[in-house]
Amino acid sequence: MTHEDSFAIVTPQLRRGEKGVWTERPQPLARAKSKILVFLFGIPFFGFAVFWTHTAAQSGDALLRLFGIPYLLVGAGIMLSPVWSWVEAKNWLIYAITNQRLFIIRTFPRRRVVSFKPADITRVERTTKADGSGTPFSLKTPDGANRVATPYRVAFTASVKPSASKRLLWIYGTL
C-alpha cells in the first residue's frame, strides 16, 4: 500500500476543516517483537495442552480427549500472536495525524477507527534508536478515553527520523 492509499483510507474519517498531516504503517518486525513475552507464555501453555490431550487420548475416554482441543487452539493462537501482529502491521494497520486528532485505523477483519483529541492525551513519550527508528510517540490517555478502566497506552511504532518526530509533535501541538 502506498502513502497515497493510506491518505485515501484516512480521508473519509476527516471532519470539516480537518486535514491529514501524516500517515504511516507500523514497522511489522517491531510490532512482532512486542509480542515476544506473549509467545513465551504460549510455549508452556501449548505444551501442557499437548500433554493433557495425549494423556487423555491414552485413557480411552472420548469426552476427556475433547477437553484438550480448546486449550490446543488457544495455545497455538498465543504462540502465533507475533505472526498475527506482523501481518496486521504490514497489511491492515494505519497510524495518522491530522491537524485536530490522532488516528489508529484497522482495516481488517472489520474497519475500526480509534481517534484521540488533544484533551484525551495526558502524557507524551518519545523514544528513538541510534538508527533513527523507534516510537515517535506513546500517548497516555486518561480513564474516560475509549471507555477503558485503565490508562490506554497507544504506541505509534513507525520508522520516523527524530527530526520528523519532533516536527509531527509540534504540528500536533504537544511540544
pLDDT tens digit string along 81-105? 999 989 998 899 888 888 888 888 8
Q: Quote the pLDDT of residue 77.
A: 96
Strand partners, 96: 23, 103
Q: Quote the pLDDT of residue 87.
A: 93
Instruction: State the number of CA atoms in the 13 A half-sphere of 68 facing the CB.
Output: 18
Closest among 88, 83, 86 to 42, alpha carbons compared: 83
What is the value of pTM for the model shown? Answer: 0.70
* DSSP element (H, E) containing 91: helix 81-91
Which residues of the chain fall short of a pLDDT of 50? 144-153, 157-167, 170-175
Q: Quote the pLDDT of residue 17.
A: 92
Beta strands 112-116 and 102-106: pairing type? Answer: antiparallel
Edge-to-edge order in the sheet of strand 93-98: 20-24, 93-98, 102-106, 112-116
Q: Quote the pLDDT of residue 99.
A: 85
Q: Quote the pLDDT of residue 132.
A: 59
pLDDT per position as a tens digit, 52-72: 899 988 988 878 888 889 999
Q: Quote the pLDDT of residue 168.
A: 52
